[in-house]
Amino acid sequence: MSMACFKRLRMEIKSMSDDPDIFLESSESDIRRWKAHIRGPPGTPYEGGVFELDLTVGMQYPLVPPAVTFVTRVFHPNVHFTTGAICLDVLSRAWTPAWGLQATCRALLALLSDPAADSPLNCDAGNMIRAGDACAFESMARMYTLEHAARDMPRRAGS
């Protein structure tokens, strides 16, 4: 691993805030592998759900964004239904080294709050939104949240 990547990740671990909607932890065996859990945003069909994510940091981090996928199944136009791949500009062309892992998770919370149907990875969800059928989209998203994301947020050791 590059020294810059290692130093940046160590710095992020030390400066991580206690955000009640984001839980991040690195693998014990590899600091470049992370698990995140994010709480579904209030007022969305994802409210009450806790969604697990895999984050993998490459050797060029922070110059290159982490690879992020949803482990928890989620019905969302910008999340591939089977692979969990995410279509989000800050995970590609809009990435900047000023972003970190926690900011990446915040961007994913914003994506859950405001789905974009113009670049869907899940065409069914995208088509529902583009057709103006918010009721169908929200009921499907809520059903998947209840079936796949109904769990408690992990806790930090000692809390």
C-alpha triplet 104, 128, 78: angle, nearest 5°: 20
Sheet holding 33-39, edge to edge: 22-26, 33-39, 50-56, 67-70
Written as six digits, the tokens of 105 are 């998770």
Give yes or no: 87 in active site. Answer: yes
Catalytic residue among 87, 105, 123, 135: 87
Backbone angles phi, psi at 11, to 5 degrees: -65, -40
Q: What 3-state DSSP class applies to 86?
A: strand
* CA 101 – CA 50 distance, rounded (Å): 17
Written as six digits, the tokens of 150 are 């109904």
Assess contact for 128 and 138: CB atoms under 8 A: no
Q: So which residues are the catalytic ones? A: 87
